Amino acid sequence: MAKLLRMPELAANAVEAVLQGWPLPEGAPYAKGDVIATVETEKAVADVEADDDGVILKTLVAEGAGVEVGAPIAVIGGPGEKVPDIDALLAEFGVASPADPATNGPATNDPAPAPSSLAGAVPSQPPSSPAVPAQAPPPGTAGPAETGATRRIFSSPLARRMAKEAGLPYEQITGTGPNGRIIRRDVEAALASRDRAGTVLVAPAPTLSAPALAATATAQAGAGAFTEIPHSRIRRAVASRLTESKQTTPHFYLRGTARVDRLLRLREELNDGAPVRVSLNDLVIKAVAGAHLLVPAMNVVWAPDAVRSFSSVDVSVAIATERGLVTPVLRSVERMTVSSVASAVKDFAERARAGRLRQDELEGGTISVTNLGMYGTEDFAAIINPPQAAILAVGAARQEPVVRDGGLEVGTVMRVTLSVDHRPVDGVVAAEWMRAFLSLVENPVRILA
């Protein structure tokens, strides 16, 4: 029996997601467990799997469109089912036809779609438009008269918003979506091409008086040219979460320094002929899990009505991508071998850069590890990733003069900074944890136990 497929809530408290793609065309049959839609949240791409065998009768949302959680995105039916009048079925469901401008409207703050377009259309400029185009008229309104038929450009709400924020004219974008529709990847490709060319787009200047024009020219002469890069969904999410963390979480900081000569030798021994190479950061992650076992009062998070204490240690790992920072979570690190930690982190990094992390892999954990040592950074502090209780910032391992048994020698040291949420964790508890962590790093054989 035909029914509506709705946009799932893949992330807690999410109000919108982007329909990234339809792996199957309309009319295509599928089996239980097959991927029938691909959806992008703020930090991850998720596959929507079929609950039962069936067929896609009608897709209601174009690829690249932003859709509210719970809104219908397709009509699906049982195996072999056919619907002679899909518009009548949609009317029965109380859903407007995709050809109706009320269906699949743009996300909040998007301009209203043109009546003849599912996700909006704007008149294009004529081929003879100047290099700096005049502003296009609002979608759905008449533009300046031009010779011949006006070509309409169709785009998804997300692509339209991205192009508008970047000041990117539609005629400079080649659409690769259905029927030449402009979708997100087309805008990203156009922006990348523009940035490589070093082009700076500016709006047309208003008519000014001679004195005002001279003053404007003087001001512009002292200002450098710039290119605006639209915020990615990940960048917006990171900005929102970390701003909230810094404003609502009472941070305090502890700094420690460890000699890591023995840790580096252990890494060399582990990597000698091993199929999976272990990094210094992999060993640090294992030491973090070991310190949490030794000081379980750190393995907590703050909740509105209680402090939640966990029996297993889940550690987030900060991974930088072109779209922004993500922090996938390693589960039960205390039960993992160092090589399995290395394999898992490598897998996370590859899928994060391809935008293929699952939403569930980005949730949970009580502490994060962020490492800038590979860039030569000696010491830094990080903002806690809510609702976690702490984040450990790891600096570079560097050779420095050290004192041992009253004598001076050269040793390799590493500085770390622990940012802690003071609500669930007291200073003494954090200090005990830091002592345990440094002891494990300086006596690394215990990490493998």
The Cα–Cα gap between 386 and 304 comes to 13
> What length does the chain have?
449
HSE of 1 in the Cβ direction (CA atoms, 13 Å)?
Answer: 1
Whether 306 and 338 have beta carbons less than 8 Å apart is answered as: no
Rg (CA), the chain: 27
Q: Is 292 a catalytic residue?
A: no
CB atoms within 10 A of CB 80: 9
C-alpha 325/C-alpha 163 separation (Å) is 23
Tell me the C-alpha distance between 297 and 306, whole Å. Answer: 14
SS3 letters for the chain? Answer: CCEEEECCCCCCCCCEEEEEECCCCCCCEECCCCEEEEEECCCCEEEEECCCCEEEEEECCCCCEEEECCCEEEEEECCCCCCCCHHHHHHHHCCCCCCCCCCCCCCCCCCCCCCCCCCCEEECCCCCCCCCCCCCCCCCCCCCCCCCCCCEEEECHHHHHHHHHHCCCHHHCCCCCHHHCECHHHHHHHHHHHHHHCCCCCCCCCCCCHHHHHHHHHHHHCCCCCCCCCCCHHHHHHHHHHHHHHHHCCEEEEEEEEECHHHHHHHHHHHCCCCCCCCHHHHHHHHHHHHHHHCHHHCEEECCCCEEECCCCCEEECEEECCEEECCEECCHHHCCHHHHHHHHHHHHHHHHCCCCCHHHHCCCCEEEEECHHHCCCCCCCCCCCCCCEEEEEEEEEEEEEEECCEEEEEEEEEEEEEEECCCCCHHHHHHHHHHHHHHHHCHHHHHC
Which residues does the annotation mark as catalytic? 422
